[in-house]
Structure 1
Amino acid sequence: MPSAPPEPTVPPKPAAVSPAEFAQALANVDAAIAPGFTQLKAADTPKELSAALDAAAEGARSAADAFEQVAPPETAISAASSLRNALVELPGDLDGLSTAASKNKVCTAASGVPEASKLGGLSALRDAAAALAAVDPTYKVGTFAPAAQDEPSRQGSTGQLSGGQRGGLGELTVKNESGAEDALVKLTNGDKTVREVYVRGGDETTVKGIPDGTLTAYYATGTDWDGDAKKFTRSCAFQKFDDTLSYETTRTQYTTYSLTLYTIAGGNATISDIPPDQFPS
């Protein structure tokens, strides 16, 4: 009579870690993810924003793998399971936002942080953190996570901005025919900013007092104007006029120019798209 097949061996469950060890495991989660969020909060360009989100996503993957090996104390099993699910979800969410940043849909921390705060994985992580803290106040995780917040929607006023150089008689008229998007026009002389002008979509303005010199004209378009940083934080695009503007004043005359902005190359002068890091700061 044939013998019965051996019963499958079930590996024993790992022993639950102590509360102190579990608290350390939670601290390790934050240590893996927090550096990416620190970079995120300081990001000043789409490239920096994308790199920060990539770092946070990689940290979340590492944290998920490590936390999977942790057997929580019995009182924390349910909340720990929620945290595991959040850590699995979070990297994909961060990858998606990184892709948006790489396409200039999200451009600086001012919009990147609010966008990140509403990601499903981060919301789930905040909920899991609250559940763990309810079990034991020493169970702290997600300290890096921003609270959920609305995206800003700010707009500047048409006219020249502070700063730049004065002392000339030159004039520049800017017509923004780029639809609903506002624009920032910047005149430079080498690496020095001569004038900055904000023009709302559909508006026109004339700037006076431009000094003599051969100037280069750039412009940026987008939404949500961060007046302190002088940048658009969403849907940003950057262009440069191919021809320079030569301002010259004599005893009897001075130079005037008119620039028309469009959403595509055109207008009264040819333009070229440029990457964000080539737009003068």
Structure 2
Amino acid sequence: MRGAVDEQQPADRSDRPTGNRADVPGATGVRRALTALGLCGVAIAGCTSPEVATTAAPITLSPSAYQNKLRSANIAVAAAFDRFATAGSPQDARAELAQASAVVVEAARLLDVDPPAEVLTVHRDLLAGLRQLAVDLSQRSDQAASMELCAAPSIIASVSNAPGVNSLRAVREAFSSGRGGVSYQWGESLLAPTQFPERRLANGQLLNSLRRTGNGQIRIDNGTEHDAVVKLVQDGESIVSVYVGKGSNTTVDNINDGSYQLYYTSGIDWDDQLKTFTRSCLFKRFGTPVEFTTVPIKGGIKYTTQAVRLQSSTRENAPTTVPAQSFPR
């Protein structure tokens, strides 16, 4: 006999929630979580589209506003050139060129704008030229560190013929030509092309001479590849300085008795005002002092004659490199 089975009645559906799924309890929290994760989109029920940030379109500068920007950048470039215009040593040159490079980078930043449409191409060339100039200055800072460039005259010549300045001169001409109906002023401070100076003194020319009333003599042979200036130094003071051309020799006489430290610098392009060679410079000191004595002998006196040859050597008294700032002027 079959047992009785209770017949299940259909559930009353009147108590089910109605309306949009977003009305389900907790749906708001889910929507917030999905939105925070960036997953909430129109394809996910219960989500609303996240707000999209909008950026205003860049404003194109008017010709007068753009000219003001050019003026500010030109002042910055002029300041960059001024930094190394008086550099008198490789150390000064290295630091000033590095800072000049940073100043030019700032000048390019000042011009990160939307220019008038008629100069858009020239503006891009300007930015490229400034970036190249910053690289050029940084490279010449490295050359100062290696003493390829040693002082302002050769540095100016090098920078004035570098790719950055050459391209910026073309930009200056394009601005002033009035292409598109408007001309602009920029680049007044750019360096003019300058040749590397090649100044030399006469072989044997004395640059300074103090207390030369003795009998001693020193013969100097320059076997290096560049001209040199040789100094006899006593108590940190340069007593005698003489210019000796490459491959030449000279003799200095009337040297007082005493002990002298022997220094020399060699290079290309002697600047008599800065008292240095402006490129390919070296600064050397001999390890052993040179001595001069005078003694009376029958019928006269006996005095010292020294002989020095400037060249790379492994001899006992071979010269060693000294920092430029330690070299007596």
Code of the residue aligned with 1:31 in structure 2: it is I
Q: Secondary structure at the match of 2:229?
A: strand
User: For residues 313 and 94 of structure 2, what CA distance do their matches in structure 1 show?
Assistant: 27
User: Given the alignment of the two structures, is residue 14 of structure 1 paired with residue 31 of structure 2, yes or no?
Assistant: no
2:198 is paired with a residue whose SS is coil
Moved more, 209-218 or 247-256: 247-256
**How far off is 1:223 after superposition?**
1.8
Match of 1:226 in 2: 271
Judged with a 3 Å threshold, the aligned counterparts in structure 2 of structure 1 residues 25 and 176 are, in CA distance, closer, same or farther, namely: same
Tell me by how many angstroms 1:218 deviates: 0.3
Residue in 1 that maps onto 2:197: 152
- What is the CA–CA distance in structure 2 between the aligned matches of 1:223 and 1:95, rounded to whole Å? 22
The corresponding residue for 2:217 is 171
Kept in 1, the 8 Å contact 2:89–2:324? The answer is: yes
- Rounded Cα–Cα distance in structure 2 between residues aligned with 1:15 and 1:169: 81
Structure 2 partner of 1:204: 249
What are structure 1's unaligned runs of at least 5 residues? none
- Tell me, which stretches of 5 or more residues in structure 2 are unaligned? 1-41, 44-51
Cα deviation for residue 254 of structure 1 reads 2.1
- State how 1:107-186 maps to structure 2 within 5 Å: 107-135=150-178, 139-165=184-210, 166-178=212-224, 180-186=225-231
**C-alpha distance in 1, partners of 2:158/2:64?**
34
Residue 255 of structure 1 pairs with residue 299 of structure 2? no
Structure 1 match to 2:127: 84
Other-structure match for 2:261? 216
Q: Are the aligned partners of 1:260 and 1:267 in contact in 2 as well (CA < 8 Å)? A: no
Q: What amino acid is the match of 1:218?
A: Y
1:226 to partner: Cα distance: 2.6
* In structure 2, C-alpha distance between the alignment counterparts of 1:257 and 1:266, rounded to whole Å: 19
Residue-by-residue CA offset, 1:165-215 (whole Å, 9 max, x unaligned): 12222111001122x322111111123211111112221111111123321
1:270 to 300, 310, 318: 318
Contact 1:239-1:272 at 8 Å conserved across structures:
yes
More off after superposition, 126-135 vs 198-207: 126-135
Partner deviation per Cα, 1:71-121 (whole Å, 9 max, x = no partner): 222333232222111112221111111111110001111100000001101
Read off the aligned partner of 1:175 and give its amino acid letter.
Answer: D
CA-based RMSD: 2.4
% identical aligned pairs: 30
Aligned length: 274
C-alpha contact (below 8 Å) 2:234/2:260 kept by paired residues: yes
Q: What's the CA shift for 1:228?
A: 4.0
Judge conservation of contact 1:259–1:268 (CA < 8 Å) in 2.
no
Query: Contact between 1:214 and 1:244, CA under 8 Å: does it hold in 2?
Result: yes
C-alpha distance in 2, partners of 1:219/1:19? 57
Deviations 1:233-262 (A, max 9, x none): 111111101111222334422222111111
Shift of 1:153: 2.2
| TM-score, reference length from structure 1 | 0.88
Give the equivalent residue in structure 2 for 1:279. Answer: 327
Residue 90 to residue 50, structure 1, CA distance change in 2 (3 Å)? same
State whether residues 207 and 242 of structure 2, in contact with CA within 8 Å, keep that contact through their aligned partners in structure 1.
no
| Contact preservation (8 Å) 1:265, 1:272 | no
- Equivalent position amino acid for 1:277 in 2: Q
Q: In the alignment, which residue of structure 2 is the partner of 1:72?
A: 115
